[in-house]
């Protein structure tokens, strides 16, 4: 068994034992990990990886658990089998917060699925694959496009997006929406037949923020590859536009697929919140444009 796979197995058993004892604190878990590492005789080179993985999983546990609940809403967290629950914690931590150079996303997925198959029930591997696969596709399947050797044309979909801003006492604020994977993102919606992206952006402003405002100027385009359960991979191009209001008006997030909340953030807060890195250039452009007279 590869040493890192064994390290993950030891961390899984540590999390499982801590979970069953209702002692998912870092201090108690590290004591259990130390005992397990000695029992499995992991070498000195493997211990730092196991310790870092356990520390990372427990440090991000609340965020990871929230993602599990949103990605598998039909399964309350306390109803998921303890082994599966902790396999998902390891897999999601490595997928979303781990070092992608050391553990590429596909490796994180495959390792978690194998842990589920080895230590869970008959359907654990399939369940873990379903939850992690949904998250992996939602964040754009990082690294997968690099492996495509044959240029196969993909279907294309146009969307309109909006960055709503308000400058209050010299501080620029941006309205963001919270998606089911625990990240703050920009409102957007699909273009209807023969509809331009600015019209779709205006609808997104109304549907996801509850705001009726006039678009100010275009900010640029963002293109990414998404995965639809029925149609497969699809290229999405979002044309983003700036919209301005004078005050931090109340946001009324309408029931939208994948959106759970809308909120204002100041420009100082934005670097500290979980968002999508490839949207940051659009947000930066909006911050600059919002301050222009």
The DSSP bridge partners found for residue 156 are 235
CB atoms within 10 A of CB 141: 18
In order, the DSSP letters of the chain are --HHHHHHHHHHHHHHHHHHTT---HHHHHHHHHHHHHHHT--TTTHHHHHHHHHHHHHTHHHHHHHHHHHSTTS-GGGS-HHHHHHHHHHHHHHHTS-TTTS-HHHHHHHHHHHHHHHS-TTHHHHHHHHHHHHHHHTT-TTTGGG--S-----EEEEEEEEEEEEETTEEEEEEEEETTS-EE--EEEPPTT--HHHHHHHHHHHHH-----EEEEEEEEEEEEEETTTEEEEEEEEEEEEEESS-PPP----BTTEEEEEEEETTTGGGS-B-GGGHHHHHHHHHHHT--
pLDDT at 256: 60
Q: How many residues does the chain have?
A: 293
Which burial class, exposed, middle or buried, applies to 69 when counting CB atoms under 10 A from its CB (0-12, 13-18, 19+)?
middle
* CA distances (Å), origin 25, targets 22, 49, 58: 9, 19, 7
Q: For the chain, which residues make up each domain, given as ranges?
A: 3-145, 156-290
Closest C-alpha to 205, from 176, 260, 245, 162: 162
Q: Is 129 left (phi over 0), alpha (psi -120 to 50) or beta?
A: alpha
Report how far residue 278's alpha carbon sits from residue 64's, in angstroms, rounded to the nearest whole number.
Answer: 21
pLDDT given at position 57? 94
Q: Both tokens of residue 175?
A: 């309205």
Give yes or no on whether 3-145 and 156-290 have one common fold. no
CATH topology of domain 3-145: N-utilizing Substance Protein B Homolog; Chain A (1.10.940)
Query: Maximum Cα–Cα distance for the chain, whole Å?
Result: 67
Which residues does the chain have with pLDDT short of 50?
1-2, 147-151
Q: Can you tell me the distance from the alpha carbon of 249 to that of 22, in angstroms, rounded to the nearest whole number?
A: 43
pLDDT value at residue 147: 46
Instruction: Answer yes or no: pTM beyond 0.85.
Output: no
Sort residue 35 into left (φ over 0), alpha (ψ -120 to 50) or beta.
alpha
Residue found under tokens 């495509």: 148
* Residue 112: how many other CB atoms lie within 10 Å: 26
Structure tokens at 139: 């964040």
- For residues 218 and 204, give the distance between their C-alpha atoms in angstroms, rounded to a whole number: 15
CATH architecture of the domain covering 156-290: Alpha-Beta Complex (3.90)
pLDDT of residue 54: 93
pLDDT at position 148 is 38
pLDDT of residue 151: 45
Neighbouring-strand partners of residue 226: 234
């Amino acid at each position: 068994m590869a040493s890192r796979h064994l390290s993950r197995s030891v961390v899984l058993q540590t999390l499982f034992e801590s979970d069953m004892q209702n002692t998912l604190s870092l201090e108690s878990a590290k004591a259990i990990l130390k005992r397990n590492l000695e029992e499995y005789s992991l070498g000195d080179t493997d211990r730092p990886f196991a310790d870092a993985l356990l520390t990372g999983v427990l440090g991000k546990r609340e965020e990871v658990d929230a993602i599990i609940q949103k990605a598998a809403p039909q399964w309350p967290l306390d109803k998921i089998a303890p082994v599966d629950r902790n396999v998902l914690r390891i897999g999601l931590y490595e997928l979303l917060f781990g070092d992608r150079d050391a553990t590429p996303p596909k490796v994180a997925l495959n390792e978690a699925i194998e842990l589920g198959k080895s230590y869970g029930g008959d359907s654990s591997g399939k369940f873990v694959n379903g939850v992690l696969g949904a998250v992996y596709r939602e964040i754009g399947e990082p690294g997968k496009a690099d492996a495509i050797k044959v240029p196969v044309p993909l279907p294309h979909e146009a969307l309109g997006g909006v960055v709503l801003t308000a400058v209050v006492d010299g501080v620029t604020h941006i309205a963001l929406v919270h998606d089911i994977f625990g990240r703050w993102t920009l409102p957007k919606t699909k273009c209807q037949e023969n509809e331009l992206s600015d019209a779709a952006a205006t609808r997104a402003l109304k549907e996801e923020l509850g705001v009726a405002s006039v678009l100010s100027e275009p900010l640029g385009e963002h293109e990414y590859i998404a995965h639809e359960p029925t149609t497969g991979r699809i290229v999405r191009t979002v044309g983003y536009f700036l919209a301005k209001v004078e005050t931090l008006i109340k946001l009324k997030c309408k029931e939208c697929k994948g959106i759970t909340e809308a909120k204002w953030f100041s420009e100082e807060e934005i670097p500290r919140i979980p968002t999508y890195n490839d949207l940051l250039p659009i947000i930066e452009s909006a911050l600059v444009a919002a301050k222009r007279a």
